[in-house]
Structure 1
Amino acid sequence: MLQQLRSTDERFKSISFKSGRNILIADKTERSTDTDSRNGAGKSSLIEILHFLLGMRDLRGSVLKNPALQADTFTLRLDWPTTPDELTVSRSLSKRSRVLLEPNVAAELMPLETAGNVTIPEWVTAIGRDLFAFPEEHTGVSARNLLSLYIRRVNQHALDDPVKTYPTQSIAEATTNAAYLLGLDWRLAAGYKQLAGRETLRRKLKEAMKDPAFGLVVGTVSELRGQVASAGVRARNLEKQVAAFRVVPEYEFLQNRADEIDARIRRMRAEDAADRRNLQDLQDSLREEREPATDYLRRAYEELGIVLPDALLRRYDDVRAFHESVLSNRRSYLEEEIASTESRLETRKDERERLGDEQAELLQTLRDGGALDAFTGLQEQLSIARSELQTVTDKFETARQLEATQTEIKFERSRLQQEINRDLAEREPHIEDVNILFQQFATALYGPGRDAYIDIRALDTSLHISPHIGGENSQGIGKMVIFCFDLTCAVLAHRNGRGPDFLVHDSHLFDGVDERQVGEALKLAARVCAGEGIQYIATMNSDDLAKAAAFDTSVKDDIIEPRLTDAYDDGGLFGFHFE
């Protein structure tokens, strides 16, 4: 329950709340004229301050945006489920990104007696966890949206619809939050919101397709599926290369040595070719070398009858011996050249084999590793490949969503609708209890002659939750539909431990409502508070309350201080007038 609201501005009129029914009054003073309005007294400002202290972030359209208030720090004391003492919440308009909690209930691991400044998201998380008993995973429901049902804001048109709390709120989101309070399967209801998001995206993408250039940017699913596969293979191959890459020290030196060996082997092959040609010539020359025949001279002279003298014969023998010596020397020379050539060929063969082994080792080392700059280049290629893969994957996903047909979404909606219908059938006893409670509240206001029920059913676009009271086309009955629906949600949520023990209504909820129904509504609120252990806070104009008091004489006992006035100087909640 709420206990006290105050401000650092001494002019601000602090408000102390009590258990049960609380009515904050704006009196009409003698200074007021028929044209004066008590809208400036601060009744609706109370709603804004409570939302501000309970995690509201956007102040657009709020009185708290006024420069005259920016130096103020507001403080709210309230009961809190996780601490036996009261929780004090303070937040400054000038530094509204953080809130001071005493004790710090937002920090689970911190001792409760410790105060702490926390961020607004942290504070809202604590509200959802402690006030609304959110599970760890609660996609679809929001503490801030639920608080907007407990404390409806007039400037957000929250009094225009029983379920929606602001005009742009999707019906799927609104009914999901209402389902949470009513004890329905809110997770199934949240499925509609996800489908609505997909449908919105599909429509936007479909519009984008009308741009001729868009098809070039995105492409079709069939085209992009192959591109994704190709880009994935390239990226994986580069990942393997990077993982297996070994940086070789002195890579440049080893590369130069390998090049030198290769050049040397090439030169030796050229030298071998020349020596083999020379060897062939030498071997041919050796085979062709033989002694010239000399007997034919002796026979020729004998046939002519010429007898050679002994001296000439001796000279002939000497010449022959000389020629034989020359021939022998040439043969020896050719044999030596052949042996020398064969030796060179054999030596180069051995050296070539040795160099070949060294070259093979070098090439293996270079093949298995590489220089640091080569490794860096490989990493850059991998980075580019991964980026290209991500780009084409994003295009593929966009194209797949873009090509999703309306039939597919309709099918999923139909499946969800059937699932929710089965769930509602299983929860029929609980839904009956919900309707009985709502009908009791409506009967308290209008008697038993009017139909009153909450229509709960699954549509193709959302879970349908719509409260009705017969004759609700009138403005007054429509407002009381909201009153009864809020009271039903608050009671059921509090009974099931998934909602706070307070409910706050702005005086605008009673605009256009017959004074009898206003009186009965206030009487009902007091009775429910007593029976359910909850707190009800309402702001009202004094003249409307006077009319309602005719049907509930005890209402004056629950008027709380201060009594606000519409005097321009100091009668309002803030204690001074500002434009």
Structure 2
Amino acid sequence: MRLIELRSNKKSFRTIPFNRTGISLIVGKKHQTNETLVNRKNTYNSVGKSLSIALVHFCLGSNPNLEFEEKLNDWEFTLEFEIGEKKFIATRKCKEQNKVFLNEKEYSLQDYKDYLESKVFKLPEPIKFLKFRSLISRFIRPNKFGYNSYYKFINKEQDYPQLLNNAFLLGLDPYLVQRKAELKDEIDDIDKRRKGIENDEIMKSFFEEGEDIEIDIYDLKQNIELLENRLKGFQVAEDYHEIVEEADHLKRQIQEYENRAERIKRAIYNIDQSLEIQPDVSRTKIENFYKQARLELPEMVIKRLDEVQSFNEKLTDNRGRRLFKEKQSFEKELHDISEIIRTLGRKKDEKLGYLNTKGALDEFTNMNDQLRSFKLRLEKLEQYKNLINEFKNKQEEFTKEFSDENIKTNNYLNDQSDLIRKNIKLFKFFADQFYGKKRAGIEIHNNDGKNKNRFDIKAKIDDDKGDGVNYIKIFCYDWTMLKGQNNHTVKFLFHDGRLLSEIDPRQVATLFEIAHKQTQEFNLQYIISANENVLEATKQYLGEEKYSEIIEENTVLELTDESEAHKLLGVQVELDYDKE
């Protein structure tokens, strides 16, 4: 795949014709006037150099861009490119970004990307995260984030897809990378489910109390069985509460009658005690008392004693008859009360007997609620028990397969020693042009840690400190993937001018010499935007002739800040395009 031309339906747009082979330079120039000579703060920014990259990505199926839809609504952009010997013309409208016209045939955005993927990249079977968009971004870094590290191309791309895409373009087996990630995901999923159960409100108390799961399961099953048996024989009495109230009323009546009976019994007891009591002093005792005192009772006194004794005997007799009558009355009342108590007792027993065979609706509901609670807790505990068992088994399986995959990867890397040497050789070849014979290359090792990373891939240049070296590593790494032609048919690299920002002029000159020679010798494309001052600084190292041959003759578009017409869009539009 190589780029031929980027154009638009708007006449103001500055069409970019790319050289089919060799370098294609998009140069940002500062318009020199008396004002700009005085105002040194003017820069080369905002003329459209980086926008050209965003527009190429747009034509190659990047995510819908809201900025384009809102501010370039009636614009459409066309990218002409080749794959093999076949030419393609892709047009995408800013107001209808979910479809693309390819050689005048309409495709949905997804179908368009799938088609390009099948034509450009060699994927025997689909792999999640290994897609056209992620792969093509390795040859045209989408935005400024892609220039922070040689290894990182897409903003917010996770470690696993990052490794997967980079390994694939270095010729490594992506299925080894995929399998290790799957194994880690499987064990993480089980662990996540286990933690989810442990954090469940129902289960928290179980873990806090440190109970034995088998004992708790057994107890729950017993309680469930008991409750189910009770519910089977449970009959709901609609008048349950009324019967309870009646039984309670009977109980209170019985208690009242029993209290009355107890008072009557005490009264009868007191009468019995009274009937047994006799006068303390008899007539005989009085006479004896006077005899002992040798006193003769007068006739009158004797007569009075006879009267007193007669009165006392009569009084005692009357009291006994009265007490006896009272006792009889109390005994009858006690008998009647006892009958009432027996009658009330039978009624109470009937009520309680009825209640013993039936229950209240709320009791029935409470029992069912408790049963459901027990069953839910049992279900959670059994789930947890099964999950723990599965987790232990998976851990064993994971450990075994993980070990098998490590051995498999070690053997694979040993068998692929030629591929590893090839990547080292390519990277070192480019690095040597900048740093001489310093130790450099791409190290590829098996990562045997319990993570998703199948390979550790590191590009190294001795003394690789400083921003300048970082950008050189980006250049060398990207050229290694391009020239290696592993699993792809991409024939171009497109770099933003920020790649050159921290590299000294001598190394920038070397960079262009390498690109010029490699593209000519191997029929490749190298597209790069650059500011005029950066290019002019290389002239002393390239010399007039080489500068003309490499830089001037390969400049395909000049953009200046002279006016809006001299910028890429040709009109004034503020765009936040630096995102997909």
Instruction: Determine the structure 2 residue equivalent to 1:572.
Output: 567
Residue correspondences, number: 391
Distance 1:46 1:202 in 2: 47
Instruction: Determine the structure 2 residue equivalent to 1:503.
Output: 493
The amino acid of 1:48's aligned partner reads A
Greater RCO, CA 8 A, separation 6+: 2
1:541 maps onto 2:531 in alignment: yes
Once the two structures are superposed, the pairs formed by residues 246-265 of structure 1 within 5 Å of their partners are: none
How many Å apart are 1:12 and its aligned residue? 0.9
Change (3 A) 1:402 1:122: farther
Between 169-178 and 93-102, report the one with greater CA deviation: 169-178
How many Å apart are 1:538 and its aligned residue? 0.5
Change (3 A) 1:406 1:540: farther
1:428 maps onto 2:417 in alignment: yes
Instruction: Determine the structure 2 residue equivalent to 1:556.
Output: 551
Q: Note if contact 1:25-1:559 (Cα within 8 Å) is conserved in structure 2.
A: no
Distance 1:445 1:412 in 2: 44
Instruction: Determine the structure 2 residue equivalent to 1:27.
Output: 29
Q: Note if contact 1:3-1:76 (Cα within 8 Å) is conserved in structure 2.
A: yes
Distance 1:30 1:398 in 2: 77
Distance 1:399 1:432 in 2: 46
Distance 1:410 1:145 in 2: 31
1:119 maps onto 2:116 in alignment: no
The amino acid of 1:431's aligned partner reads I
Q: Note if contact 1:129-1:135 (Cα within 8 Å) is conserved in structure 2.
A: no
State the Cα deviation string for residues 529-570 of structure 1 (Å, max 9, x = none).
Answer: 112211110010110011123333232244333201134522
Distance 2:55 2:550 in 1: 25
The amino acid of 1:42's aligned partner reads G
Distance 1:575 1:435 in 2: 45
Change (3 A) 1:37 1:398: farther
Change (3 A) 1:421 1:25: same
How many Å apart are 1:39 and its aligned residue? 2.5
Distance 1:92 1:402 in 2: 52
1:46 maps onto 2:35 in alignment: no
1:467 maps onto 2:468 in alignment: no
Distance 1:466 1:65 in 2: 37
Change (3 A) 1:168 1:85: closer
- Bigger Cα Rg: 2
Change (3 A) 1:184 1:11: same
Q: Note if contact 2:123-2:487 (Cα within 8 Å) is conserved in structure 1.
A: no
**SS of equivalent to 1:574:** coil
How many Å apart are 1:399 and its aligned residue? 4.5
Distance 2:516 2:56 in 1: 22
Change (3 A) 1:205 1:66: same
Question: Of residues 149, 155, 170 in structure 1, which corresponds to 2:138?
Answer: 149
Q: Note if contact 2:76-2:93 (Cα within 8 Å) is conserved in structure 1.
A: yes
Distance 1:533 1:173 in 2: 30
Once the two structures are superposed, the pairs formed by residues 219-230 of structure 1 within 5 Å of their partners are: none
Q: Which runs of 5+ in 2 are unaligned?
A: 208-212, 218-378, 575-580
Distance 2:389 2:7 in 1: 52
User: CA RMSD, aligned part only?
Assistant: 3.3
**SS of equivalent to 1:150:** coil
How many Å apart are 1:166 and its aligned residue? 2.6
1:524 maps onto 2:526 in alignment: no
The amino acid of 1:563's aligned partner reads E
State the Cα deviation string for residues 98-140 of structure 1 (Å, max 9, x = none).
Answer: 00000xxxxxxxxxxxx31001111111111111122243445
**SS of equivalent to 1:551:** helix
How many Å apart are 1:163 and its aligned residue? 2.1
TM-score for both structures, normalised by structure 1: 0.62
**SS of equivalent to 2:529:** strand
Q: Which runs of 5+ in 1 are unaligned?
A: 103-114, 227-390
Between 66-75 and 88-97, report the one with greater CA deviation: 66-75
Instruction: Determine the structure 1 residue equivalent to 2:271.
Output: none
Q: Note if contact 1:202-1:401 (Cα within 8 Å) is conserved in structure 2.
A: no
1:91 maps onto 2:83 in alignment: no
How many Å apart are 1:210 and its aligned residue? 4.6
**SS of equivalent to 2:31:** coil
The amino acid of 1:77's aligned partner reads E
**SS of equivalent to 2:24:** strand
How many Å apart are 1:473 and its aligned residue? 1.5
State the Cα deviation string for residues 274-319 of structure 1 (Å, max 9, x = none).
Answer: xxxxxxxxxxxxxxxxxxxxxxxxxxxxxxxxxxxxxxxxxxxxxx
